[in-house]
């Protein structure tokens, strides 16, 4: 079916919101059940899109951005497959083929996410420059530009799909070579090391390196959760502080070692 | 004594709202740092008046930070309290602030990820999806409203809690409590970094080192299984009993490395990155380089 100009604009706005949320993960406009429904709402194909959203939501239940890892991209998958469903004009019968398209789209979206997250690295350097001048406005501005970039990540592909129609999209997705997508995923697993290296360089002293080693070794035991590791870490820090006090200059102190940091962590 | 600088409730609400966008400039170099600084701006404006102080505050809040976006709120709360003390003249240095942030982010992410991503979201999602599948518009509405109520309630409440608890940390300055916290936080921070490097830097080498033919009875003989669901049951039972799925035992290079200690390759990459950083290699170059290595090594079958 053909969309009116107003419908196209609304679709692009929904896509933009989904893209922004794909990184923020706060309001959840990028979750299939919301994104597909909104696309259905603005195009007048509510029920088929609602069913597509529900189905995709079940597939995507466990998709989450953990740490620096990037989950398959629910935003592009939902928005693009819903648009293709609407353009196909088959109503509820088109849901199955739309789902088949959604999964490769989620992987394609992953690539776009990685690209944008890499571009954002340049943006934080601009924020650094603004910070050196104490310029709040420019820090705000660059942060908002980064958010807009994430929105365009979905809005542009959505507009393209509306412009070129559903069929060429399918061909394009099949043409993307596996070596590229898989290789990027392999690289994505390693790049987090850069971030950790920066913090370690900042915090490390001869005194605290052994704790790094203990943390590293204990983390090989898969049954200890991160929370558990946190508990061990707090305990180690407390023990170390108590011992250095005893052996130290007898500086007295007021003996109040009720560890507030530990308490804060316990409180949550 | 000069008048105490204090964050108003309006400031804290503004910070809470801004923290919604903490992941907005998420990047491979310092992750949530841009969003963190963006969130802190109302506090910096309130607490620091000279251009130099403001610039320094912005810069120290652009350091590396990454956690689950919702549990960042209690950390923001504690940091607000620390900044408030610092602005009022307490000896809270950059290392103490960064130490508290890094020390809290790992364990709290360990709470946020399983709670929100693997408990609340699947439950709400499954409930809403089952409604949506019957064409009921209540599904998405329910999901959207409940999710955001839970999220906003959690982030506001924990930010306030962190803010109040954080003030207590700095109340007693005479006993050198702050120095203890600084050191304690860097111990905790390094410990957690060690674990994170092990858990989150993922490298897997693909090449096969050896392939050994297993004895009969050590693997599941798929041709001998009963037909239908009975066969599946038998197969699962045999697997549970320790039988291999195929008739050969494959050892990859990764298995060999893991028998030294799992995560060794990730550690080596991290150490290499640290060394390159000290040699003033740009992080962006390193990130792009790692992606190129990923593609090349995957293409030649090494990873």
How confident is the model over B260-300, as pLDDT tens digits?
Answer: 888 888 899 999 988 998 888 877 778 778 888 888 988 88
Q: Domain range spanning residue B281?
A: 208-299
Which of A12, A47, A21 lies closest to B140, judged by CA? A47
Probe site for chain B from A114, A138, A203 (most B CB atoms < 10 A): A203
Residue B140 resides in a domain: yes
- Pick the more confident residue, B7 or B174: B7
**If pLDDT is split at 50, 70 and 90, which confidence band does B178 have?**
low
Count CA atoms within 13 Å of residue A42 on its CB side.
21
B190 and B233: one domain?
no
A22 and A105 in contact (C-beta within 8 Å)? no
Task: Find chain A residues with C-beta within 8 A of B97's C-beta.
Answer: none
The reply to whether B4 falls in a domain is no
Are B166 and B252 members of one domain?
Answer: no
The residue among B200, B224, B248 that closes a domain is: B200
Q: Is B208 in a helix, a strand, or coil? A: strand
User: Same structural domain for residues B166 and B268?
Assistant: no
Distance in Å, alpha carbon of B148 to nearest chain A alpha carbon: 6
pTM: 0.73
Q: Which two tokens stand for residue A104?
A: 């490769």
Q: Domain-by-domain residue ranges, chain A?
A: 5-188, 205-247
pLDDT digits (tens, 9 = 90+) for A197-251: 877 877 778 888 999 999 999 989 888 877 788 889 889 989 998 888 876 544 4
Pick the last residue of a domain from B165, B200, B235.
B200
Same domain, residue pair B177 and B220? no
pLDDT of B215 reads 75
Are B64 and B134 contained in the same domain? Answer: yes
Q: Are both B83 and B164 inside the same structural domain?
A: yes
CA distance A193 to A68: 10
Distance of CA B73 to the CA centre of its chain: 14
Number of domains within chain B: 2
Task: Tell me, yes or no, whether B154 and B50 share the same domain.
Answer: yes
From the list B37, B161, B192, the residue facing A215 with the nearest CB is B192
Nearest to B278 among A142, A201, A213 (CB): A201
Q: CA-nearest residue of chain B to A188? A: B291
CA pair distance B252, B209, nearest whole angstrom: 5
B2 found inside a domain: no
B72/B91 same-domain check = yes
Tell me how far apart the 2 most distant CA atoms of chain B are, in Å: 87
Mean pLDDT of B104-111: 78
- Do B74 and B181 sit in the same domain of this protein? yes
Task: Write A159-168 long-range contacts (CB < 8 A, 24+).
Answer: A159/A8, A159/A12, A159/A15, A161/A80, A161/A83, A161/A84, A161/A87, A162/A3, A162/A8, A162/A11, A162/A12, A162/A83, A162/A87, A165/A87, A166/A83, A166/A84, A166/A87, A166/A88
Is B63 part of any domain?
yes
Residues B189 and B228 in one domain: no
> A200 with B277: CB under 8 angstroms?
no
Which of B179, B200, B221 is where one domain is finished? B200
Confidence bin at B42 (pLDDT 50/70/90): very high
User: Which ipTM score applies to this complex?
Assistant: 0.74
Other beta carbons less than 10 A from residue B64's beta carbon: 23
DSSP structure class, residue B19: G
């Amino acid at each position: 079916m053909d969309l009116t100009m107003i419908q196209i604009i609304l679709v692009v706005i929904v896509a933009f919101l989904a893209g922004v949320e794909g990184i923020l993960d706060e309001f959840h406009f990028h979750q299939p059940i919301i994104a597909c429904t909104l696309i259905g709402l603005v195009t007048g194909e509510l029920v088929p899109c609602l069913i597509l959203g529900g189905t995709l939501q079940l597939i995507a239940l466990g998709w989450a951005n953990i740490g620096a890892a990037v989950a398959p991209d629910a935003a592009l998958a939902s928005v693009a497959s819903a648009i293709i469903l609407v353009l196909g004009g088959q109503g509820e019968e088109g849901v199955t083929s739309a789902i088949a398209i959604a999964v490769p789209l989620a992987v394609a979206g992953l690539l776009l996410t990685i690209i944008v997250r890499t571009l954002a690295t340049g943006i934080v350097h601009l924020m650094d420059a603004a910070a050196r001048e104490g310029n709040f406005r420019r820090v705000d501005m660059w942060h908002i530009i980064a958010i807009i970039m994430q929105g365009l990540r979905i809005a542009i592909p959505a507009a393209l799909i509306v412009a070129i129609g559903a069929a060429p999209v399918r061909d394009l997705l099949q043409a993307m070579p596996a070596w590229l997508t898989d290789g990027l995923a392999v690289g994505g697993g390693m790049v987090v090391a850069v971030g950790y290296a920066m913090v370690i360089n900042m915090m490390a002293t001869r005194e605290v390196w052994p704790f790094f080693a203990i943390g590293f070794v204990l983390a090989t035991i898969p049954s200890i959760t991160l929370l558990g590791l946190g508990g061990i870490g707090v305990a180690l820090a407390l023990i170390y502080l108590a011992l250095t006090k005893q052996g130290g200059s007898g500086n007295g102190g007021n003996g109040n070692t009720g560890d507030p940091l530990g308490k804060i962590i316990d409180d949550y | 004594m000069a008048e105490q600088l204090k964050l108003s409730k309006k400031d804290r609400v503004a910070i809470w709202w801004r923290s919604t966008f903490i992941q907005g400039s998420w990047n491979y170099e310092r992750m949530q740092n841009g969003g963190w600084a963006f969130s802190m701006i109302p506090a910096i404006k309130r607490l620091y008046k000279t251009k130099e102080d403001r610039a320094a505050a912005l810069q120290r809040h652009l350091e590396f930070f990454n956690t689950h976006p919702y549990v960042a709120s209690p950390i923001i709360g504690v940091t607000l309290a620390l900044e408030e003390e610092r602005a009022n003249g307490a000896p809270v240095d950059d290392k103490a602030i960064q130490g508290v942030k890094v020390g809290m982010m790992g364990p709290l992410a360990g709470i946020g990820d399983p709670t929100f991503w693997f408990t609340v979201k699947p439950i709400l999602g499954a409930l809403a999806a089952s409604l949506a599948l019957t064409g009921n518009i209540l599904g998405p509405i329910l999901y959207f409203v409940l999710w955001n109520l839970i999220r906003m309630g959690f982030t506001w409440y924990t930010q306030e809690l962190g803010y109040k608890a954080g003030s207590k940390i700095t109340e007693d300055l005479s006993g050198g409590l702050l120095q203890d916290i600084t050191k304690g936080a860097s111990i905790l921070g390094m410990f957690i970094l060690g674990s994170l490097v092990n858990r989150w830097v993922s490298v897997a080498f693909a090449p096969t080192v050896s392939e050994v033919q297993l004895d009969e009875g050590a693997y599941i003989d798929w041709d001998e299984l009963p037909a239908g669901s009975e066969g599946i049951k038998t197969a699962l039972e045999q697997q549970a009993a320790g039988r291999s799925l195929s008739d050969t035992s494959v050892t990859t290079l990764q298995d060999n490395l893991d028998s030294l200690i799992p995560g060794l390759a990730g550690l080596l990459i991290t150490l290499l990155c640290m060394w390159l950083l000290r040699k003033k290699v740009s992080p962006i170059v390193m990130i792009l380089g790692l992606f190129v290595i990923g593609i090349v090594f995957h293409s030649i079958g090494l990873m």
